[in-house]
Amino acid sequence: MTEPSHAPVSAPTPVIAGRWTVAAWAIGAGVCIAGAVPPWGWWPLAFIGFALFDQLLIGTTAKQRFKRGWLVTASWLFPAMLWMFDLTAPGYIVASALYAAYFGVACALTPNDGPWRFITFPGSFALAELARWYWPFGGVPLANVALGQVDSPLAITARLAGPGLIIVLVVMLGQALSVAVQAQRSPGGFASARRHVGLAAAITIVFIAAGWLHPRAEIVREIDVAVVQGGGPTRTRASSNQEPVVLARHIEATREITGPVDLILWPENVVNPGRFLDFEEAERRVGQVAIDTGAVLLPGWFHPISDVNSANYHTAVSPTGEVLDRYDKERIVPFGEYVPLRGFIENFTDELPGRDVLAGTGEPVLETPVGPIGVAISWEAYFSRRSREAMQNGAQLLTNPTNGSSFWLTQVHTQQVASNQLRAIENDRWLLMAGPTGLSAVIDPNGNLIQRTDIGEREVLFDTVEMRDGRTLASYVGPWPILLYGLLVSAAGLSVVRSGRTNT
């Protein structure tokens, strides 16, 4: 009896070969992906980047795919997260290199050719993005692929399954472009390319149409709002000498409000009781602003509460000066507001926050006379689960008070605006963003920037916005559809890779 043959199926030849050629293509792919992310925001570059990325994976071993995937991602994250260098140079290097390894694993799990490549790569890549949004230290979701698509037709799909769906579609369309280019090298490959490109286009059109046809939230009422930006120099570090100055700037800017408004939003931590201002006097000044304007005021507070902890929170103050509600920031910034592994890190640097911010545990909603208002303080805007929790608790308007005055460059500022555009779309809500030195913005439920300030200027944004009721599909399902898809196709891809089979 003849034994069955177990000879391995021959793998296709790599499309891109040669050490320097591979490095050039990988760096080019990463730079294209970075170029799609704010502050550059040239969103079509993402599709070119993923087309190059896909070509690099064809006909390679799992080890080669890991290395190539790492280099592509490093070429994207190192420039797109350059702001972190000024905050912590070692952290910048470690974070960028570590997160690039996540995507290297995603590439290793992707079969090197055939139908499984097109099914696995979008899901495994999205899974790697989700992983870096959660771990370690709560995750770092800045510079993600979805941020680069806020001005593209894909942005509206966030209503269905959040930013993860946008990422899947971007990778899928990049692969379609890759197939179209590769068909020019393969005799008779045009028919197969047309089928693949047509299918990718059809899937994309269906999701975009579903996003636009998604039932809209009900308009409860309209309110007049003022977003206050006090202005001042950027790239400054916390200083007790500046505490009364920052508060004075925002009180003075608020005096520019001459007509009646219903709601005034101040930025994060502009009220700083401490060395030059006691708590009672700070409360009196804030309450007087609310009384003088006859509006609900949402001021940001920051002050020590013990020898080892500080508090970072927002309050709602009534037109009579009464404090109605309070939300303490829950998602705090690692190495900025708290120091993980402090005892170990202190062996290497003295430039650490003296106190850790005590994370809050409440729901991110302030109950006010104009309705329930969702609050994501600064960094929390990057985490869609914070706004989703606000929706679960009835938020009719979303706000993002922030403080970007200490950051280098404009990467954090512009990426935060883009993140807020996504939060507005995926929750079908108006969103107000206020920063002490910028950026500040008014964003409509379709993610359009209705108004936006510049860095460093004093300005008050006046607008009429809608309080809305009702939830989107994304606010119900969260990341779970994309997470499950990513896990399933990554497991399937691992099985294909381990079996040594090449599907054709």
pLDDT 10s digits, 337-386: 877 766 666 666 666 667 889 999 999 999 999 999 999 999 999 999 99
Q: Give phi and psi for 108, each to the nearest 5.
A: -60, -30
- Among residues 105, 84, 102, 101, the alpha carbon closest in space to that of 93 is found at 84
C-alpha radius of gyration, the chain, whole number: 25
Residue 300: its H or E element = strand 300-304
- Residue 307: alpha-carbon gap to chain centroid: 33
Residues 6+ apart with CB under 8 A from 249: 230, 231, 232, 436, 458
Confidence (pTM): 0.93
CB 375 within 8 A of CB 366: yes
Question: In the beta sheet, which residues pair with residue 443?
Answer: 431, 449
Asked if 90 and 335 count as a contact pair (C-beta separation under 8 A), the reply is no
Distances (CA, A) of 276 to 231, 312, 406: 20, 18, 21
**End-to-end CA distance of the chain, in Å?**
30
Q: What is the pairing mode between strands 263-265 and 218-229?
A: parallel
Contact 37, 147 (CB under 8 A): yes
Please, are residues 397 and 429 in contact by the beta-carbon 8 Å criterion? yes
Q: Would you say 461 and 429 are in contact if contact means Cβ atoms under 8 Å apart?
A: no
Question: Which class is domain 218-340+349-471?
Answer: alpha beta
- Which structure tokens are listed for 186? 């393969």
Pairing of strands 459-469, 449-452: unpaired
| pLDDT of the residue at 15 | 79
Amino acid letter, residue 427: N
Query: Per-residue confidence of the chain (504 residues) as pLDDT tens digits?
Result: 444 444 444 456 777 888 999 999 999 999 999 999 999 999 999 999 999 999 999 999 999 999 999 999 999 999 999 988 887 788 889 889 999 999 999 999 999 888 889 999 999 999 999 999 998 888 899 999 999 999 999 999 999 999 999 999 999 999 999 999 887 766 666 777 888 899 999 999 999 999 999 999 999 999 999 999 999 887 766 555 667 889 999 999 999 998 899 999 999 999 999 878 889 999 999 999 999 999 999 999 999 999 889 999 999 999 999 999 999 999 988 777 877 766 666 666 666 667 889 999 999 999 999 999 999 999 999 999 999 999 999 999 999 999 987 788 889 999 999 999 999 999 999 999 999 998 999 999 999 999 999 998 999 999 999 999 999 999 999 999 999 999 999 999 999 888 875 443
Q: Which two tokens stand for residue 352?
A: 């650490």
CA–CA distance, 200 with 444 (Å, rounded to integer) = 29
> Are the C-beta atoms of residues 418 and 41 closer than 8 Å to each other?
yes
Instruction: Give CA–CA dist 16/220, Å, rounded.
Output: 57
CA quadruple 358, 362, 368, 371: dihedral sign: positive
d(CA 304, CA 278): 12
3-state class percentages of the chain: helix first, strand second, coil last, to nearest 5: 50, 15, 35
pLDDT digits (tens, 9 = 90+) for 139-159: 899 999 999 999 999 999 999
d(CA 171, CA 177): 10
Instruction: Classify burial at 6, counting beta carbons within 10 Å of its beta carbon; exposed 0-12, middle 13-18, buried 19 or more.
Output: exposed
> With b meaning 16 or more CB within 10 Å and e meaning fewer, what string describes 320-339?
ebeeebebbbbbbbbbbbbb
Domain ranges of the chain: 19-214+479-499, 218-340+349-471
Is the CB of residue 497 less than 8 Å from the CB of residue 4? no
- Strand (E) or helix (H) holding 275: none
At 244 the pLDDT is 80
